[in-house]
Chain A
Amino acid sequence: MTPGEHPDGELSDLNIRRALVAAISRADRERAGQLLDYWAARHGYAAAYKDLLEPALKRIGRGINSERFSLAQAYVAAKVAEDMLTKSAGSFAQNSEQRTAKGPVVLGNAEEDFHALGRRMVATMLRSSGWVVCDLGNDVPAAEFVDKAIEIGARVIGVSAMTVTTALNIKEVRRELDARGLSGRIQLAVGGAVFLVADGLCDEVGGDGTAPDMLEAPHLFAELWARGERFEDAR
């Protein structure tokens, strides 16, 4: 059944928004996809992303932070965004700046950190908003982050850490950037649940910026990328 054949076809935009949040909450990826397709057929994929999916993800994102949503629902939310990217690849190409590839950027978990889930979801969201992401996985030594960033020409390194102990390992990435004279030119994004609870941790570990969740991550990366460019221009 497609939304076109369903009574939902008659529903207002507001109701479709609600239906999308409900579908993601039920972990119903297929239904969420149908609703987005339906919207895209009328307004285009770029609008479906910006006007329908993004607000829905924001609502869900707030729920995740307050423990009203489960890991499963958060996972579905990221998948729905990924599906959108795949489906819309062709249609974006014609009209939207969203298609101009951004990046590349490097992402990974701090050394000794094995909390893959959040990092993977950040990668998914970055990709679905057009970033080229090189994901180095779990337990990444500081030097490897920086080597990779140089190799691919990344201006932003994103490091995910979930515990206080592993977050402190990010200091090594900062030291490595300093030692090679790359601080400023390559920006350091940090994140993970521990940054929400430990005040001042981002500064303490030498991060250039942080974001509370996957939805804010693309914005943070864009800001840091621009900062890196400005730094370079000023020299």
Chain B
Amino acid sequence: MNSLQRLQCLLAGEMADRRMFTMPLSQYSAALTGCSLEEHYNDPAAYARGQTAVRETFAPDILFGPVIVAAIGEAFGSKARYFDKGPPVVSTPAIEAASEWKGLPLPDPDRHPRLSYLREALRRVVAEHGREVPVAVLLVAPIDIPGLVMGLDAWLETLLFDRPAAEAIMQRVTPFAADLANRCFADGAAFVVWTIGFASPGFVTREILQEFSRPVLVDTLARVHGPVVLHHLEFPLVANLDVLSGLPSVAGFVLAQGDNLKRARRLLGADSILLSGPASPWMRRAAAADVEAVCRKTLENRRDDPRFILASCKGDMYIDTPPANIHAFRKSVEEFAGDRR
């Protein structure tokens, strides 16, 4: 069975030969091919070679386009700082205050160099692997975009104390977010993953979740023409899933390592795909045996759940994660399937 066939089983609610497993190995793939991160984040061909190496080395069931959230900030005019050993971060936001959004042009997903890089890299990975392995791309939901454009604190300030301004910002941002997602689907993405930090209990209050984040998500997701997976970003998310269930276009959720998966399944119903597993910062430091044990426990927890995918949570896998830990992740899935037979 190839990964695409496993996915078809999963969507049909049937058990495949084994569990699907995945983790974003974007920056990590540069380590596999010995490419500098500068090249990795600029040259689509170099990026695609990296995903080929990922597939050959670890064979995850979902490959990824570049995980480069800062590029979305750059597309709006923010400056990003690039590092030798980690992904770029927004260093100087494009604007400082909500009032400056008015004059800010929306980026063109076909023309902006950072978005062109992202999409061309995605297309190349799809062209090479898409017939056997689904390819996902990690973007951010509209509610998380202003943090990359005006800085996290200015966005919090607006959201908390000037709701009409926050809503006006969403009016501008949502068409862009939907458009970028749709173009990624046209490029061949099997899923678009959206971080939803500003719908998580670690970031916002219930009031913001119910009165702001959910309506924005409903509105944008209704304009997206493909399956979206919502991503917890950093903190546990399960406490907010009651409000986040039933959103249009949402195929599933990536949940945090500590999230209660039984409760998540109860809240989301049987059709939603659940993805969860060890967190990337944890995997960077853990012993391989511990990685295997945590994976095993998670698989055990979801034993009879056909729509579960073992996936690392939090961000992109760190470049200095021991390869043995990634192999342990994969091994847990293979051995679990062996035990079940």
Contacts and interface: CB of A to CB of B under 8 A. Distances in A.
Interface string A62-93: 00000100111101100100000000000000
Nearest to B90: A114
Contact of B205 (A67, A73, A165): A73
A32 to B, nearest CB: 12
Interface string B122-166: 000000000000000000000000000001110011011100000
Interface in A18-74: 25-27, 29, 67, 70-73
Given A71-B156, A72-B156, A117-B153, A27 B90 contact: no
B32 interface: no
B156 A75 contact: yes
Interface string A120-144: 1000000000000000001100000
A74 B151 CA distance: 16
A71 B202 contact: yes
A116 B151 contact: yes
Contacts of A172: none
A116 B207 contact: no
A176 interface: no
State the main secondary structure of chain A at its contact with B: helix
Contact of A75 (B86, B160, B202): B160
A114 B86 CA distance: 13
B202 A70 contact: yes
Interface residues of A, number: 20
Nearest to B70: A114
Contacts of A27: 160, 205, 207-208
B204 A70 contact: yes
Nearest to A30: B161
B153 A76 contact: no
Contacts of A75: 153, 156-157, 160
- Which one of A27, A76, A120 has the highest number of Cβ atoms from chain B below 10 Å of its Cβ? A27
Interface of B: 81, 83, 86, 89-91, 151-153, 156-157, 159-161, 201-205, 207-208, 235-236
Interface of A: 25-27, 29, 67, 70-73, 75-76, 79, 112, 114, 116-117, 120, 138-139, 165
17 contacts: A26-B207, A27-B160, A67-B235, A70-B205, A71-B152, A71-B202, A71-B204, A72-B204, A72-B205, A72-B208, A73-B205, A79-B157, A112-B83, A114-B81, A116-B151, A120-B153, A165-B86
